Structure 1
Amino acid sequence: MALTREEREQFLAEPHIAALAVTAEEGRAPLSVPIWYQYEPGGDAWILTGLDSRKNQLIGAAGRFTLMIDRLEPTIRYVSVEGPVVETVPATVEKLREISARYLPAEKVDAYVDFAWKNHGEMVVVRMRPERWVSSDLGTV
């Protein structure tokens, strides 16, 4: 059964690991990789990635990407959202801290942020405006 707008936005707002998909070069399948993301209902979704990463290069060329999130418990549910890139800006330590705090235990955030900021190279925040949604709750199959 398809989710309501409120259900799919709330599900996307939960801290799941997403599968990011973006069109690749001619003759290749789309790039699909796991990624942390941030989303608040009614807003844009955003990711943080390396400036020189393949995914950032492909997103820049395509101008859009998809995030797909799923779970198996307590019911099988998924949300896939696709849309255009509306902004790409240099990452800040505050954005790195925000997304890290979404996924890591509180006691590990500071150490991770310090390490990532010093060692992961230049990063960018890429914002996507949700445009097309596919969602379902398949119940307890």
Structure 2
Amino acid sequence: MSSFVMTASEREAFLSGVHVGVLAVERAGRAPLAVPVWYDYAPGGELLIWMERDTVKDRAIRAAGRLSLAAQDETPPYRYVTVEGPVIANDEPPTREQALRIAGRYWPAEQAKEYVDSALGPQSVLVRVRPEKWLSNDQSKT
């Protein structure tokens, strides 16, 4: 029987592709929070997520100190990668370059610039995560 598990380089390449991530973080006395997010990742680097301070996501991440993110391909052959790890920083806003890189993964350059110009501000926070544990599945591996 063959394995559907991706190699380390395959899973990092997949995660660095453009996918809407599903962030999951534990919450005391409630079900885990699971919400879609835009993110940035380069193989071997940190997972970067831009959000607003004092939101439900931000408060849950600050309390838990770690999170998971799942990225998937919804077209056959189905594939997914899940990464989890500790938050290593979430006290500064992203630089303009970091914000443009995140937004630019999802929108054309001009729209990304307009979004960053309107959304990047003092309430912005960049969550940096060190990937430690990975799960993956690639249904094309038969």
Name the TM-score, length of structure 1 as normaliser. Answer: 0.91
- Deviation track 1:15-58 (CA, whole Å, cap 9, x = no partner) reads 110000000121x1100000001111011101011111111111
SS at match of 1:19: strand
- Alpha-carbon distance, 1:117 to partner: 2.6
Instruction: List structure 1 runs of 4+ shifted beyond 3 angstroms.
Output: none
Gaps in structure 1 of 5+ consecutive residues: none
Are residue 139 (structure 1) and residue 131 (structure 2) matched? no
- Name the residue aligned to 2:101: 98
- Alpha-carbon distance, 1:113 to partner: 1.4
- Alpha-carbon distance, 1:95 to partner: 2.1
Instruction: Within 5 Å, give how 1:1-141 maps onto structure 2.
Output: 1-26=4-29, 28-91=30-93, 92-117=95-120, 122-139=123-140
The one-letter amino acid paired with 2:88 is: V
CA distance in 2, matches of 1:98, 1:70: 20
SS at match of 1:43: coil
The alignment-based identity, stated in percent, is: 44
Equivalent pairs counted in the alignment come to: 138
- Alpha-carbon distance, 1:138 to partner: 1.8
Q: Which structure has the highest strand share of the two?
A: 1
- Alpha-carbon distance, 1:82 to partner: 0.4
- Deviation track 1:55-76 (CA, whole Å, cap 9, x = no partner) reads 1111111010000001123410
Name the TM-score, length of structure 2 as normaliser. Answer: 0.90
CA distance in 1, matches of 2:63, 2:22: 19
Alignment root-mean-square deviation, CA = 1.8
SS at match of 1:100: helix
